[in-house]
Amino acid sequence: PADAAQPAEPILEQPARAPAAPAAKTPQATEQKPPPAPPAEESKPRQLPRFVEVGADSCIPCKMLKPVLDELRSAYPGRLQIEFADVWKHPDLGDKYQVRTIPTQVIYDAEGNEVFRHIGYWPKEEIDQKLKELGILD
């Protein structure tokens, strides 16, 4: 048979088309959008450095520190997390923070490592100085 002697014809690809005329430039055509942000549960939240005041509501030096903590909260929103741990209401916090005397202030860096500890009343100016010295604040 004549068909058997003929090699099969190769399948030809579509011929290349001439490039289309460029479309009118619009912001959508020239700008690429950034990829969407990952869902909140997948992204690790940024951890702030922490200043933990370990004391008690009834302790006199602790009461004196309350306005200092309020000033720190106002001065460094979004840059420093200020916490108060009442060891009289929650005795387990004394062990957690390894505190035997109140008030005690514990400073943690953004990775959660303890970088400094102070016992007793601590004026805001001295706290500011220490936070800058530790590189926690600029």
Judged on CB neighbours under 10 Å (0-12, 13-18, 19+), 75 is middle
What band does 138 get if pLDDT is binned at 50, 70 and 90? confident
**Amino acid type, 45:** P
Q: Is the pLDDT of residue 120 over 70?
A: yes
**Amino acid type, 92:** D
Higher pLDDT, 17 or 106: 106
**Chain segment 5-20, per-residue pLDDT in tens:** 555 444 444 445 555 5
Where on the phi/psi map is residue 112: left (φ > 0), alpha (ψ -120 to 50), or beta? Answer: left
The per-residue pLDDT for 43 is 46
What is the arithmetic mean of pLDDT over 51-76?
97
- With contact defined as beta carbons under 8 Å apart, do 54 and 87 qualify? yes
Domain boundaries defined on the chain: 50-133
Each as own residue / partner, the long-range contacts of residues 58-64 (CB below 8 Å, 24 or more positions apart, any chain) are: 58/88, 59/88, 59/102, 59/103, 61/102, 61/103, 61/120, 61/121, 62/102, 62/103, 64/121
Is the domain covering 50-133 a CATH 3.40.50.880 domain? no
Provide φ and ψ at 86, rounded to 5°: -90, 105
Token pair listed for 115: 């970088």
The per-residue pLDDT for 74 is 97
What is the arithmetic mean of pLDDT over 42-71?
89
